[in-house]
Amino acid sequence: ASLTLTEAQVELINSLPQDDIPAKLRCAICSKLAINAFRLPCCEQAICESCQSTLPASCPVCEHSPLSADDCKPHKALRTTIKVFLRTEEKKRESNRPKGAAPTPITPVDPSPVTAAAPAIPERPLSGEATQAGEDRQAPVGEPSAD
């Protein structure tokens, strides 16, 4: 039931500004994302696995004592919510990534920029055509004057 993090998720978690982590998903002790959350038995606060493993004899949140790490039960609902939160954050990062980096999925799109670059060559003749079109426009203007 505990969350096994990928290297990318660990990197994502470490790079998340604290303000981007909703308060309800934070550990009541260290304020980081409550990975593999546990619930404190005394005050029902959520704490992360690393804080749970180093709990003192009295609760750091409400000062209740005695307190044992074994008394903390896994906070399953919060664990599920955090998994969804991480997936959402990963998707946000992935959707932002193609603009900056060029991973493999963008390779099929690469021919389009090459094609887009190709019209730069025809633009020169187009500008010449524009001049001709301008001359054509002047000719009809000249024709009514000739009448």
Q: Are 18 and 36 in contact (CB under 8 A)?
A: no
Whole-number Cα distances in Å, 77 to 1, 5, 34:
11, 17, 12
**Three-state DSSP class for 47?**
strand
CATH (one of 3.30.40.10, 3.40.50.2300, 3.90.1300.10, 1.10.760.10) for 7-105: 3.30.40.10
pLDDT of residue 143 exceeding 90, the answer is no
Ramachandran angles phi, psi of 91, nearest 5°: -65, -40
**Does the reported pTM lie above 0.75?**
no
pLDDT band, residue 72 (cuts 50/70/90): very high
pLDDT band, residue 93 (cuts 50/70/90): confident
Which is more confident, 89 or 137?
89
Q: What are 103-134's pLDDT values in tens digits?
A: 554 444 444 444 444 444 444 444 444 444 44
Q: How far apart are CA 38 and CA 76, in angstroms?
A: 8
How high is the mean pLDDT of the chain? 77
pLDDT value of residue 92: 87
Which is more confident, 21 or 98?
21
pLDDT value of residue 40: 97
Domain residue extents for the chain: 7-105, 110-147
Task: Give 36's Cβ-side CA count (13 Å radius).
Answer: 11
Average pLDDT score over residue span 41-53: 96
